[in-house]
Amino acid sequence: MFVNISNKKVYELVIEQIQDKILNGELKKGDKLPSERELSEQMSVSRTSIREAIRVLETIGVVESKQGDGNFICTNIEKSLIEPLSMVFKLNEGTWQNVLELREVLELQTVKIAAIKATKEDCKELKTIIGAMGKENSMKKYNSKKIIQLDQRFHNKIASISKNYLIESVFITSSKLFERFIEDAREKIIENYRDEELLFENHRRIYEGISKNDPILAYEEMKRHMENIRESYIKTIG
């Protein structure tokens, strides 16, 4: 049951109660919230305050409303992270260097954890992605969009191999910010990368480090990959 509250900025206290119930495990992903009327009665506040609180929670991605079915705790946690992060980035006039530095920190530490935890099945999935990249790389008609998709799958899989949902959620969120910021320049960057014949080789070596369960090798190859990306960015967007 929700407890009675009476104070100014009532909707904020409603938000706090719902967030507290998520943090203590009473509310989980996909759980349906009581109706506005029920919440209003349990908390002894107006339905207007409840509605305002739900709107805020929906905006930040904690709650999702389904027409005719009610309000639910969001099942896509990355959604609740990407918008605030994007807003912070925009308000502080973020640059591509900021995004890349964040990506480097996450990539380098995540690949070490992935190399330690990787199973044979994980490596098999990575090998499949590497094989598709190699096949695409060898084709005369180069499909940069396909390479971009495979690149995303490869890095997201590494985050998944970490077997840490916090790392994976933050990683995917930063990736979405990364993609939003460099969307227009990405194909040119991939083309530059291809001209230097680095993209496939970088990914293959990272895979080798993970498949050997060698965190040092995986780290060094990912570091090399990040350095190449940085150089390619400078060439493409200055």
Which one is predicted more confidently, 185 or 48? 48
Compute the average pLDDT of residues 130-135.
90
pLDDT of 2 above 70: no
From the list 174, 162, 180, 161, the residue with the least C-alpha distance to 102 is: 174
Distance between CA 172 and CA 155 in Å, rounded?
9
From the list 206, 202, 200, 204, the residue with the least C-alpha distance to 218 is: 206
pLDDT of 237 above 80: no
Which residues of 21-73 form beta strands (DSSP E)? 63-66, 70-73
Q: What is the average pLDDT value for the chain, to the nearest integer?
A: 83
199: its two tokens: 């993209």
Tell me: the pLDDT tens digits for 187-198? 666 666 655 467
pLDDT of 105 above 80: yes
Task: Check if 10-75 and 79-237 are the same fold.
Answer: no
Which one is predicted more confidently, 232 or 30? 30
Domain ranges of the chain: 10-75, 79-237
Kindly report the CATH number that applies to the domain delimited by 10-75: 1.10.10.10
pLDDT of 209 above 90: yes
Q: What is the pLDDT of residue 145?
A: 76
Compute the average pLDDT of residues 228-235.
80
Compute the average pLDDT of residues 159-168.
90
Distance between CA 228 and CA 104 in Å, rounded?
12
- From the centroid of its chain, how far is CA 71? 24
Which residues of the chain form beta strands (DSSP E)? 63-66, 70-73
- Cα–Cα distances (Å) from 163 to 16, 76, 110, 158, 170, in that order, read 30, 17, 10, 9, 13
Using 50, 70 and 90 to split pLDDT, how confident is the model at 238?
Answer: low
pLDDT of 184 above 60: no
Tell me: the pLDDT tens digits for 6-52? 545 888 889 889 988 887 888 888 899 999 999 999 999 999 999 99
Superfamily grouping for domain 79-237: GntR ligand-binding domain-like (1.20.120.530)
Using 50, 70 and 90 to split pLDDT, how confident is the model at 185?
Answer: low
pLDDT more than 90, % of the chain: 37
Q: What is the pLDDT of residue 1?
A: 63
Q: How many CB atoms lie within 10 A of CB 102?
A: 17
List Cβ<8 Å contacts ≥24 apart for 90-95. 94/181
Contact 165/155 with Cβ under 8 angstroms?
Answer: no
